[in-house]
Structure 1
Amino acid sequence: AEMLQGYGQLDIREHQGKTPLLVAATANQPLIVQDLLTLGADPNATDHRGRTILHLAATYGLPGVLTAVFNSGSQVDMETRDFEGLTPLHAAVLSLNEVTQQPACGSRTMTVPARDRLACVQMLLQMGADHTSQEFKSNKTVLHLAVQGANLALVQVLLELPSGDPRAFVNMKAHGNTALHMAAALPPGFPQEPIIRGLLAAGADPALRNLENEQPAHLLSPGPASEALRQLLKRSRPPPLASSS
Structure 2
Amino acid sequence: LLHVLCAGGLRAPARAAAEALRDLGGLEMREHLGKTPLLVAAAAAAPGIVRDLLVLGADPDAADHGGRTALHLAAAYGHPKILQVRLQSQNPPGQTPLHCAVLAHNASLQGGTTPVGGPVGGSPTPTLQDRLRCVELLLHMGADSSSQDTKSSLTALHLAVRGGNLALAHLLLRQPGAAPRLVNMKAHGNTPLHMAAALPGTPSQEPLVRLLLAWGADPSARNLEHDLPQGLLPPG
TM-score, normalised relative to structure 2: 0.82
Query: Within 2, Cα distance between the matches of 1:210 and 1:159?
Result: 21
Q: Equivalent residues in 2 for 1:24-39 (5 A)?
A: 24-39=41-56
Contact kept in structure 2, 1:143 and 1:155, CA below 8 Å = yes
1:171 to 2:180 alignment: no
Number of aligned residues: 207
Q: Give the deviation of 1:212 after TM superposition.
A: 1.2
Query: Within 2, Cα distance between the matches of 1:203 and 1:180?
Result: 10
Q: Equivalent residues in 2 for 1:146-185 (5 A)?
A: 146-163=160-177, 166-185=179-198
Residues 122-170 of structure 1 deviation map (CA, whole Å, 9 limit, x = unaligned): 111112211111112211101000000000000000010112x632311
* Match among 72, 92, 102 for residue 80 of structure 1: 92
Residues 81-125 of structure 1 deviation map (CA, whole Å, 9 limit, x = unaligned): 3xxx1111111111111121128xxxxxxx962211111111111
Q: Equivalent residues in 2 for 1:196-235 (5 A)?
A: 196-223=209-236
Query: Within 1, Cα distance between the matches of 2:202 and 2:20?
Result: 58
Q: Give the deviation of 1:4 after TM superposition.
A: 3.0
TM-score, normalised relative to structure 1: 0.79
Contact kept in structure 2, 1:78 and 1:128, CA below 8 Å = no
Specify the alignment match of 2:110 in structure 1. Answer: 101
Query: Within 2, Cα distance between the matches of 1:178 and 1:78?
Result: 27
Query: Within 1, Cα distance between the matches of 2:62 and 2:126?
Result: 29
1:133 to 2:147 alignment: yes
Query: Within 2, Cα distance between the matches of 1:102 and 1:183?
Result: 20
- Which runs of 5 or more structure 2 residues have no equivalent in the other structure? 1-14, 113-124
Contact kept in structure 2, 1:206 and 1:215, CA below 8 Å = yes
Q: Give the deviation of 1:29 after TM superposition.
A: 0.7
* Match among 57, 61, 67 for residue 44 of structure 1: 61
1:3 to 2:20 alignment: yes
> Please, which moves more after superposition, 12-21 or 151-160?
12-21
1:187 to 2:204 alignment: no
- Which runs of 5 or more structure 1 residues have no equivalent in the other structure? 104-110, 224-245
Contact kept in structure 2, 1:80 and 1:88, CA below 8 Å = no
Q: Give the deviation of 1:8 after TM superposition.
A: 4.2
Give the alignment's Cα RMSD to 1 decimal. Answer: 1.9
